[in-house]
Amino acid sequence: MKKNTTSKNNSSKKGAINVASKNANSKQAFHPWSLSIYVYWFIILFFIAAAFYTLGRSQGTCDNAMSGVNNVEITEEALLQASDYYENAKAKLVAGNIAEAIADLTTAIDAGNATADMYILRGEAYMQTADYRNALTDFNNAIEIDQVNAVAYYDRALLNIRLEDYSTALNDINNALAAQTANPTPILQTRDLYAKRGQLNLWLKNWEGAVADYTNSLARPDGSVSPAVYAERAEAYTQLGNYADAINDYASAIRVISEQIQGATSTAERESLSSNAMSYFEKSAALNLAIGNADAARSDLESAYTIATALVDDASMTRIQNLIAELQ
């Protein structure tokens, strides 16, 4: 009995050993599906880490880029637009900085989409520097952009007057009048356009045309009357032999001057106006003599002498005194 018990115990021990051995073997063995799970998680973790790394790099690059942008120097040229340069140029012209104004207008024009006003303003600036060639080019460009721009035609007329090309200037004034009718601008007064055409007709010895233009100018309600318009119409009347109307126009010119002197703000302006009035009195005196009105001629000369005395113009005083003496 004892032997059997021993045998059972030995068998029991062997069985335990076998079970333990099987359990140990089962712990060391890996199934294929469990291996793939480990690889799968490893790949997932790798890509997550890579994603965070990439995001960090991108953020750093972005920050660096933004830092670079913030460090870029923003120049005045980058901030200013063409219209800003145009407005700056107008202010500089008023201040007398012509060269700087031309530079600003050139920048505005070269920026693209240049307007007729930009070319006109630069043309006017070139005229102030006697650069007539560039001024003419700019006025031509302005007219090419806007064919009903009265200012462009008028400025080109003034340029041609300086060049003493009166016929071409007259044609430009005609175009300016037509443009002003089709596309009115407050910058110009129709009264002044007629006056300028009258002056050109006077220089071209078209006396009738000059009288008609000056009359149209004086009839316009816009703007103010210039004494020169009356005086220049008087010259045209004189050439036509219409002395009475010429005398009346000189009297009207003197009346306008007397009104202007009251509003003059400087001594130089008052002296200039007075000098013109003295000249008109002398011309009126000559016409009165031509029609045999000696008393009116003497009165005109005495008025001229009074002005010459006020101006302390010794040469004029002597000349007028001699003329008065001849009438005695």
């002395």: which residue's tokens? 243
The answer as to whether 310 is a domain residue is: yes
């600036």: which residue's tokens? 125
Instruction: Please give the Cα distance from 58 to 69 (Å, whole number).
Output: 16
pLDDT in tens, 147-157: 999 999 999 99
Instruction: Please give the Cα distance from 142 to 152 (Å, whole number).
Output: 6
φ/ψ (deg, to 5) at 214: -65, -35
Same domain, 196 and 235: yes
CATH number at residue 143: 1.25.40.10
Q: State the total domains in the chain.
A: 2
Is residue 298 a contact partner of residue 327, using CB atoms and an 8 Å limit? yes
pLDDT in tens, 243-256: 999 999 999 999 99
pLDDT in tens, 256-294: 999 999 999 999 999 999 999 999 999 999 999 999 999
Q: Which of 188, 221, 243 is at the close of a domain?
A: 188
pLDDT at 25 over 60: no
Both tokens assigned to 6: 């021993």
Same domain, 305 and 204: yes
pLDDT in tens, 66-83: 444 344 444 455 446 888
Same domain, 109 and 178: yes
pLDDT over 90 percentage in the chain: 71
pLDDT in tens, 81-97: 888 999 999 999 999 99
Same domain, 184 and 222: no
pLDDT in tens, 128-169: 999 999 999 999 999 999 999 999 999 999 999 999 999 999
Same domain, 328 and 195: yes
Same domain, 170 and 237: no
Instruction: Please give the Cα distance from 176 to 153 (Å, whole number).
Output: 5
Categorize the per-residue pLDDT at 221 as very low, low, confident or very high, splitting at 50, 70 and 90: confident
Report the chain's mean pLDDT, rounded to a whole number. Answer: 83
- Greatest Cα pair distance, the chain, in angstroms, is 191
Range of the domain at 223: 191-328
